[in-house]
């Protein structure tokens, strides 16, 4: 029953997102046709033709109905900016975003949780103070600024834009190495910015467990300090961190708008930015549906997974 209601709730959220997306972006000021043709010799007839091509000349309720019915068929419409189906454009950008945000989320989660455990275990030591201090500082730093700074400091060690060079050899190894080379700075920026979140959550939830009687019992049994931490303390403290990780995984798809903009990384975040300058209604709607959908699905997964991780939470 509860599973069914959870699924129903998720589906309802998706429908609401789809409806909201349509009206939300129509409120964005600006006329796409005027923005597109600005600076060119344009006649009123040419503007009318563009409006007709994009379906913008129809009444709003007709536009909405057209959008909604084609959405149900899986058709997200055509982007004004790229003059291609929105689903193609999004699909093309999904890979780069998953690569960048996925890689950095995995690194940030691993590093953050590990450092968080160590910091909590040696609370108030020099190690705790340094790691917590440094990661908090990085968290507070504007992403844009950090990215530019990294780009300047590293000189010509790493490329400053995009995912690939235009003159790399076409074989797989060279291409893969080239992508890896381009990945370093943007993922470093992202890790630096989000790592603190995991570190702090892990640290504080482990601190809560530190004085629990079962740890004393474990020590009294003669267990090594390392084992006490690994087998007893951490499993009990990791749940809040897992929640956070899953929420974050949902946001992976939304990309990292700022980081992608700084490094011109061809992912969904950059696409969002470009779509807003149109405003490219169909692309914006499509992006919202896809990214919100990812968040809804990941949240659902997180809820289901709790039951597995923690027997106290039952999802039937």
Partner 1 sequence: MILKVAIVQQIDSMNPFLAVFQSSTEVGRLMYDYLTAYAADDQRVTEGLANRWEPSADKLTWTFTVPEGKTWSDGQPITAHDVAFTYNLMLTNEVARTANGSFVTNFSSVTAPDDRTVVIKTKAPQVTMLALDIPIVPEHVWEKVTNIKDYANDQMPVVGSGPFVLTEHVAGQFIKLKANKNYWRGAPKYDELHFVYFQNSDAAVQALTKGEVDLVNRMAPAQFDSLKDKAGVTRNKAQGRRFVELLINPGARTRTGEPIGDGNPALGDVRVRRAIAQAIDLDALVQRVNLGYAEKGAGLVPPVFGKWHWEPGEKELRTFDPAAANAALDAAGYPRKADGTRFSLRLTGRAGRAYDEQASEYLKRQLGDIGIPLDVRLVSDNQLNEATTVATYDLAFSGWATNVDPDFILGLHTCAQRPGADGKGGTTDAYFCDQAYDELYARQLSEFDEGKRVELVKQMQARFYDQVPAVVLAYENALEAYRSDHFARFTTQPAQGGVIMAQNGMWGYYGAEPAARASASGTTWVGFAVAGGVIVFIVVAIMRQTRRRRATAGERE
Residue 78 burial (CB count, 10 A): 19
Q: Of 23 and 309, which CB lies nearer to partner 1 in the complex structure?
A: 23
Q: Of 139 and 158, which CB lies nearer to partner 1 in the complex structure?
A: 158
Q: Of 212 and 276, which CB lies nearer to partner 1 in the complex structure?
A: 276
Binding mask 158-197 for partner 1 (x = CB under 8 A): xxxxxxx-xx---------xx-xx--x-------------
Q: Of 207 and 276, which CB lies nearer to partner 1 in the complex structure?
A: 276
User: What CA–CA distance (Å, rounded) separates 78 from 80?
Assistant: 6
Pair 280, 81: CB distance under 8 Å: yes
Pair 10, 297: CB distance under 8 Å: yes
Binding mask 20-39 for partner 1 (x = CB under 8 A): --------xxxx--xxxxxx
Residue 125 burial (CB count, 10 A): 12
Q: Does 128 bind partner 1 (CB under 8 A)?
A: no
User: What CA–CA distance (Å, rounded) separates 94 from 89?
Assistant: 9
Q: Does 75 bind partner 1 (CB under 8 A)?
A: no
For the chain, what percentages of helix, strand and coil (3-state, to nearest 5) are there?
75, 0, 25
Count interface residues toward partner 1 (CB under 8 A). Answer: 68
Q: Does 46 bind partner 1 (CB under 8 A)?
A: yes
Task: Give which of 244, 245, 247, 241 is closest to 297, Cα–Cα.
Answer: 247
Least distance in angstroms from the C-beta of 115 to partner 1? 11
Q: Does 314 bind partner 1 (CB under 8 A)?
A: no
Query: Cβ contacts of residue 75 below 8 Å, gap of 6+?
Result: 85, 87
Query: Cβ contacts of residue 268 below 8 Å, gap of 6+?
Result: 90, 93, 94, 97, 253, 254, 255, 260, 287, 290, 291
Task: Candidates 40, 211, 312, 314: give the one binding partner 1 (CB under 8 A).
Answer: 40
Helices 281-309/60-72 angle, 10° precision: 40
Q: Of 124 and 167, which CB lies nearer to partner 1 in the complex structure?
A: 167
Task: Candidates 137, 216, 217, 277: give the one binding partner 1 (CB under 8 A).
Answer: 277
Q: Which stretch binds partner 1 (CB under 8 A): 151-159, 202-210, 286-294, 308-316?
A: 151-159
Binding mask 208-247 for partner 1 (x = CB under 8 A): --------------x-xxx---------------------
By CB under 8 A, name the binding residues for partner 1: 28-31, 34-51, 53, 80-84, 89, 92-93, 148, 151-152, 155-164, 166-167, 177-178, 180-181, 184, 222, 224-226, 260-264, 266, 270-271, 273-274, 276-277, 279
């Amino acid at each position: 029953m509860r599973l069914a209601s959870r699924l129903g709730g998720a589906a309802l959220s998706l429908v609401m997102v789809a409806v909201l997306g349509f009206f939300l972006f129509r409120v964005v000021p600006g006329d796409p046709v005027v923005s597109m043709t600005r600076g060119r010799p344009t006649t009123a007839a040419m503007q009318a033709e563009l409006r007709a091509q994009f379906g913008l000349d129809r009444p709003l309720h007709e536009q909405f109905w057209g959008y909604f019915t084609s959405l149900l068929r899986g058709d997200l419409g055509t982007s004004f900016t790229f003059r291609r189906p929105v689903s193609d454009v999004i699909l093309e950008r999904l890979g780069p975003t998953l690569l960048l945000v996925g890689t950095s989320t995995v690194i940030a989660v691993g590093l953050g949780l590990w450092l968080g455990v160590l910091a909590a275990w040696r609370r108030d030591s020099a190690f705790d103070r340094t790691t917590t201090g440094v990661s908090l500082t990085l968290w507070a730093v504007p992403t844009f600024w950090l990215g530019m700074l990294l780009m300047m400091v590293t000189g010509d060690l790493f490329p400053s834009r995009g995912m690939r060079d235009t003159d790399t050899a076409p074989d797989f190894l060279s291409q893969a190495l080239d992508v890896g080379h381009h990945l370093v700075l943007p993922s470093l920026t992202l890790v630096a910015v989000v790592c603190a979140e995991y570190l702090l959550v892990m640290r504080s939830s482990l601190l809560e467990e530190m004085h629990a009687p079962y740890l004393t019992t474990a020590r009294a049994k003669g267990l090594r300090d390392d084992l006490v931490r690994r087998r007893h303390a951490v499993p009990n403290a990791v749940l809040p961190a897992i929640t956070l990780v899953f929420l974050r995984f949902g946001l992976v798809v939304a990309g990292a708008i700022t980081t992608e903009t700084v490094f011109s990384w061809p992912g969904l975040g950059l696409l969002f930015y470009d779509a807003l300058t149109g405003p490219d209604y169909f692309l914006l709607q499509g992006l919202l549906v896809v990214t919100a959908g990812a968040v809804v699905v990941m949240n659902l997964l997180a809820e289901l997974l709790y039951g597995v991780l923690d027997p106290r939470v039952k999802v039937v």
